[in-house]
Structure 1
Amino acid sequence: MSAKSELRRSVEDSRRKRRTTILVIAGVAVVALVAGIIGVVRTLSGEEAADDGRLAITIAAGEDNEYHDTIAEVAAEKGLDVTWQNLDDWVLPNTEVAAGTLDANSFQHILFLSNFNVENGEDLQPVFSTIMSRWGIFSPRLDSTEEIEPGSAIGIPDDPSNGGRALFILQDAGLIELDPEAGAYPDTDDIIDNPRDLSFTEITATTIPQQFDDPSLAAVVVGIHYFDPSQNIEIEDALYLDDPDAESSLPYVNVVATRADNLDNPAWDILEEAYDDPRVIEAIEEEFFGTTMRVHVPAETLRETLAELQEEAQQNQGA
Structure 2
Amino acid sequence: MNLRLIISLFLFIVIMSLTSCHSPAGNRTITIGINESDQMIWDFVAKKAREKGLNLSLAAFSEYAEADLALAGGDLDANAFQTVSYFKSLPPNVKKKLAPLGTTYAASIGVYSKQYKQLEDIPDGAVIAVPDEAAAFGRALFLMQEAGLITLKKGFNGTGSADMIKDNPKHLILKTETKKNAFQAAEHADAAVLSQSDAKKAGFHAEKDALIRSAQMKEAYIHLIAVRAEDKDDERMRTLLSLYQSDDTAAFIEKEYQGSLVPVFLPGSSVLTEKKE
Both structures adopt the same fold (TM-score exceeding 0.5):
yes
Residue number among 112, 116, 121 corresponding to 2:86 in the alignment = 112
Residue number among 153, 177, 195 corresponding to 2:151 in the alignment = 177
Contact 2:250 2:263 in 1 (8 A): no
Deviations 1:181-215 (A, max 9, x none): 55543322210233x3341240525555545366x
Distance in 2 between residues matched to 1:90 and 1:83, nearest whole Å: 20
- Matched with 1:186 is 160
Contact 2:142 2:158 in 1 (8 A): no
Mapping for residues 36-75 of structure 1, pairs under 5 Å: 44-45=23-24, 48=25, 50=26, 56=28, 58-62=30-34, 65-75=39-49
TM-score (norm: length of structure 2): 0.69
- Matched with 1:12 is none
Residue number among 101, 107, 125 corresponding to 1:127 in the alignment = 101
Equivalent residues, number: 250
**Matched-pair identity in %:** 22
- Matched with 1:252 is 221
1:254, CA displacement in angstroms? Answer: 1.6
1:129, CA displacement in angstroms? Answer: 0.8
Deviations 1:108-165 (A, max 9, x none): 22233234342536242211111343211223465554x2567352512251433333
User: Which structure has the larger Rg?
Assistant: 2
TM-score (norm: length of structure 1): 0.61
Amino acid at match of 1:200: I
- Matched with 1:197 is 170
List structure 1 runs of 4+ shifted beyond 4 angstroms.
Answer: 87-92, 99-102, 140-144, 180-184, 205-211, 283-286, 288-291
Give unmatched runs, 5+ long, in structure 1.
Answer: 1-41, 309-319
Deviations 1:277-319 (A, max 9, x none): 5367537865x686444333454442225x99xxxxxxxxxxx
Deviations 1:40-81 (A, max 9, x none): xx9752xx2x4xxxx83513305563532321211233x351
Mapping for residues 291-310 of structure 1, pairs under 5 Å: 291-297=260-266, 299-305=268-274
- Over the aligned positions, Cα root-mean-square deviation in angstroms equals 3.8
Give unmatched runs, 5+ long, in structure 2.
Answer: 1-20
Distance in 2 between residues matched to 1:149 and 1:107, nearest whole Å: 32
What secondary structure sits across from 1:130 in the alignment? strand
